[in-house]
């Protein structure tokens, strides 16, 4: 079993039902495992900021855990914009 397969199974076991992500080369194993996990649904979008903001809004409106998955390098830093947006709207 790949670590990414275990991670997706763990996420679904924690109640995650949907993952929002831009597909990226640095996360190809995670993307593959996500696509093969029957318990998880995914929504692909661009850029990373949109995934983070969408995860925040999903959590707010669906009352479930919102998850954004981004690729390595600049993908991670680009997601910070969406995370800060979530922190600002929480107040």
Domains held by the chain: number: 1
CA–CA gap between residue 38 and residue 35 (Å, rounded): 8
Residue 1 is assigned to a structural domain of this protein: no
Model's pTM, two decimal places? 0.82
Range of the domain at 84: 12-90
Residue 7 is assigned to a structural domain of this protein: no
Residue 49 is assigned to a structural domain of this protein: yes
Residue 19 is assigned to a structural domain of this protein: yes
- CATH of residue 58: 3.40.50.970
Q: Which residues of the chain have pLDDT under 70?
A: 86-91
79's CB contacts (< 8 A; 6+ apart) are 48, 49, 51, 52, 68, 70
Residue 45 is assigned to a structural domain of this protein: yes
Residue 3 is assigned to a structural domain of this protein: no
pLDDT tens readout for residues 33-54:
999 999 999 999 888 888 998 9
């Amino acid at each position: 079993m790949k670590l990414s397969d275990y991670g997706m199974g763990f996420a679904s076991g924690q109640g995650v039902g949907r993952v929002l992500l831009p597909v990226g080369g640095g996360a190809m194993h995670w993307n593959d495992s996500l696509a093969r996990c029957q318990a998880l649904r995914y929504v692909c979008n661009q850029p990373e900021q949109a995934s983070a903001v969408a995860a925040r809004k999903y959590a707010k409106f669906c009352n479930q855990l919102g998850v954004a998955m981004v690729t390595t390098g600049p993908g991670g830093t680009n997601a910070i914009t969406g995370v800060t947006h979530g922190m600002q709207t929480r107040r």
